[in-house]
Amino acid sequence: MASLICTLQHHQDDVNWCAFSAKLLATCSGDKTLRVYNARDFSELPFSPLTGHGYSVHCCCFSACGHFLASCSTDATVVVWSMLSGDIEAVLEHPGRSPVRICALSPDSAHLLSGASDGTLALWDFPSKQLRRTGGVSDTTMVAACFSPCGQMFATGSTYGDLRLWDLSMNQLHAEKNAHDLGVSGCHFAPAILSGETGPGPVVSWCSSAWRPVDRTAT
């Protein structure tokens, strides 16, 4: 049976996302800030809140080692923060300056993906913070993204309800049209590649405002 452990009420607007590392919990909000807590006792870290975005912060994610936190905002940037000091390590401007709605780091922290309101995607080399490739689809907003466990492909979801599978060269490997009629609001890969009668393939689950989780295996 689940029970409430703690309630955190420090943000002054909607909480848009939360993310855990091995030791930390990060939250981001429409109040333009991120807050970082100790995941053991939920005490707020001394350098929290993190301020640097000009508009609402939509998503945040930790690097594999937990030493860095990436966040994206309506201000069209992805900001990389040090979790040792709270300082800004880098500010990555999304191509076209469109509001960035989603960001994701690969499991090995080699790549950072950002998706924007105009449907564009940007793939960054995370260690060097250099832009590697751009792509996307037109006339939609990217609102969900995740990397496969191997880090060699990623999935994206849009407000149109489409789920797409991509490789690191921005080639579309699979497109699931109208996966949800109210848009895809989140997606996540299974932790391991599964095999079935049709052969090995990545299993992706996603959800929408319709509260209907769906599983698909792309082969």
Q: Where are the domains of the chain?
A: 15-217
In this predicted structure, the answer to whether residue 25 has a pLDDT above a threshold of 70 is: yes
Q: What angle do CA 165, 169, 175 make, to 5 degrees?
A: 20
- Encoded tokens for 44: 């707020």
In this predicted structure, the answer to whether residue 87 has a pLDDT above a threshold of 80 is: yes
Q: Is the alpha carbon torsion for 194, 25, 84, 40 positive or negative?
A: negative
Tokens 């792509």 belong to which residue? 135
Q: How high is the pLDDT of residue 196?
A: 52
Q: How high is the pLDDT of residue 178?
A: 75
Residue-wise pLDDT tens digits, 67-76: 999 999 999 9
Under the banding of pLDDT at 50, 70 and 90, the label for residue 11 is very high
Computed over every residue of the chain, the mean pLDDT equals 89
Query: Which CATH superfamily does the domain covering 15-217 fall into?
Result: YVTN repeat-like/Quinoprotein amine dehydrogenase (2.130.10.10)
Residue-wise pLDDT tens digits, 102-137: 999 999 999 999 999 999 999 999 999 999 999 999
Q: What angle do CA 95, 30, 44 make, to 5 degrees?
A: 110
Q: Say what the pTM is.
A: 0.87
